[in-house]
Amino acid sequence: MKVLITGANGQVGRALLKSIPVEVNAVGLARTQLDIGDAQAVMSAIRLQRPDLIINAGAYTAVDKAESEPQAAERANTIGPRNLAVAAAATDARLVHISTDFVFDGLASRPYATDAVTNPQSVYGRTKQAGEEAVTGTLPDRSVILRTAWVYSAEGTNFVRTMLRLMSAKGSVRVVADQVGTPTAAASVAEVIWALAARPEVNGIHHWTDAGVASWYDFAVAIAEESATIGLLPAQVRVDPIATEEYPTPARRPGYSVLDKRSLLSKLSIPARHWRSNLRVVLREISNA
């Protein structure tokens, strides 16, 4: 099977390239190599590579910056997926497109089902929802929309890396405690995508995160505790909970964004590991780097 991965320098893109199955011939293209917002470039690349599967790990993920750069967000998150879907349709390829919990408004009190009503509250969320619609509208029978949330890895810019930097520099952090979701290691998302690659009969919208539920405060406390255990941080780091109102941001975040994973748990023989277990793995990776 030949696979083309877009957004190859992102967190999930890198995780995919680190875990390519033996039966897969994968090519990764970073944004500098393929701007998915350029329809002609996308069609040329897909016709040249002739992949059986396209994995779109590319996106504009600067959530707050998107509020002041809506056109850039739309190019990557809406136009890009549409271009990939059109090229996939023209070449009989499948498409796995990564989406986000930000398509929901965060007002629910139980995990969002795959068919739950979407109501994004930010430019980022709206452009990602439009990207989903572009993919399913263009390639309904050969596409998978995989929504995930709170993704992090040992590399790149993410909550874990930011917390480690602030905790190391300041010895204390103040973290929002009234936004709830599920921290998810990029490697978990990659594992599920490769499982989907081997299951061409699976299509439609699905959710995947690690197991468990946490607030950003809970996540930060775990980062401090687990890092202290392996000597990555001193033991006396302080984490104080605050309300969303105490940390205003340009973009509105979902207050609750736990995703219901049952559709994939029933289709794939992959267990959802608890987020704290995967956090330990990532922190050890950072410590050993």
The full set of domain ranges for the chain reads 2-149+185-209+257-272
Residue 103: is its pLDDT beyond 90? yes
Residue 231: is its pLDDT beyond 90? yes
* 224-239 mean pLDDT: 95
Question: What span, in angstroms and rounded, lies between the C-alpha atoms of 80 and 61?
Answer: 13
Half-sphere exposure of 81 (CA within 13 A, CB side): 31
Question: What span, in angstroms and rounded, lies between the C-alpha atoms of 55 and 123?
Answer: 23
Q: How far is CA 26 from CA 2, 4, 184, 185, in A?
A: 6, 6, 23, 21
pLDDT tier at 269, thresholds 50, 70, 90: confident
Catalytic residue among 60, 112, 124, 152: 124
Question: 71-101 burial by CB neighbour count: b if 16+ within 10 A, else e?
Answer: ebbbbbbbbbbbbbbbbbbeeebbbbbbbbb
Give all strands (DSSP E) within the chain, no chain letters.
2-6, 25-29, 53-56, 94-100, 143-148, 151-152, 172-176, 180-181, 184-185, 204-207, 214-215, 238-242
Strands 238-242, 172-176: pairing kind = parallel
Question: What span, in angstroms and rounded, lies between the C-alpha atoms of 70 and 75?
Answer: 9
Tallying the residues shown for the chain, one arrives at 289
Model confidence over 40-55: pLDDT tens digits? 999 999 999 999 999 9
* 67-83 mean pLDDT: 98
Q: What is the pTM of this model?
A: 0.96
**Catalytic residue flag (residue 124):** yes
pLDDT tier at 278, thresholds 50, 70, 90: very high
First and final CA of the chain: distance in angstroms?
Answer: 32
pLDDT given at position 23: 95
Model confidence over 131-187: pLDDT tens digits? 999 999 999 999 999 999 999 999 989 999 999 999 999 999 999 999 999 999 999
Q: 255: which DSSP letter?
A: S
pLDDT given at position 265: 93
Domain 2-149+185-209+257-272 homologous superfamily, CATH: NAD(P)-binding Rossmann-like Domain (3.40.50.720)
pLDDT tier at 289, thresholds 50, 70, 90: confident
